Amino acid sequence: DIQMTQSPSSVSASIGDRVTITCRASQGINNWLTWYQQKPGKAPKLLIYGASSLHSGVPSRFSGSGSGTDFTLTISSLQPEDFATYYCQQANSFPLTFGGGTKVEIK
């Protein structure tokens, strides 16, 4: 199985801050990396697929980069509605696997 490791596990940030979350795969997954946002009590929402493609309707302050084993999700200017937990998922091979999540909290 491909292990997905996210860091940090939590981050405290203020409105307007730039926030970066990292996801590392235990082996190369090309660009088959997906990012989701989840708010408490809600289902996850797709943000980015293919490592850097923005899903329809997702604000442009979200961006993704990386290839191979190392990937990054960046929120360029944190907004109040962005406080949530973020998960990465590899879609390169089965079993599909998720990272442990990164909680973005208010500073």
Partner 1 sequence: QITLKESGPTLVKPTQTLTLTCTFSGFSLSISGVTVGWIRQPPGQALEWLALIYWNDDKRYSPSLKSRLTITKDTSKNQVVLTMTNMDPVDTATYYCAHGNPAHFDYWGQGTLVTVSS
Where do contacts with partner 1 occur on this chain (CB under 8 A)? 1, 32, 34, 36, 42-46, 49, 55, 87, 89, 91, 94-101
Q: Which residues of 30-47 are buried (b: 16+ CB within 10 A; e: fewer)?
A: ebbbbbbbeeeeeebeeb
Choice between 17 and 67, CB closer to partner 1: 67
Q: Which is nearer to partner 1, 20 or 31 (CB)?
A: 31
Helix%, strand%, coil% for the chain, nearest 5: 5, 50, 50
Shortest CA distance to 8 belongs to which of 79, 76, 104, 75? 104
Closest separation between CB of residue 15 and partner 1, Å?
26
CB of 105 to partner 1, least distance (A): 15
Query: CB of residue 14 vs partner 1: minimum separation in angstroms?
Result: 25
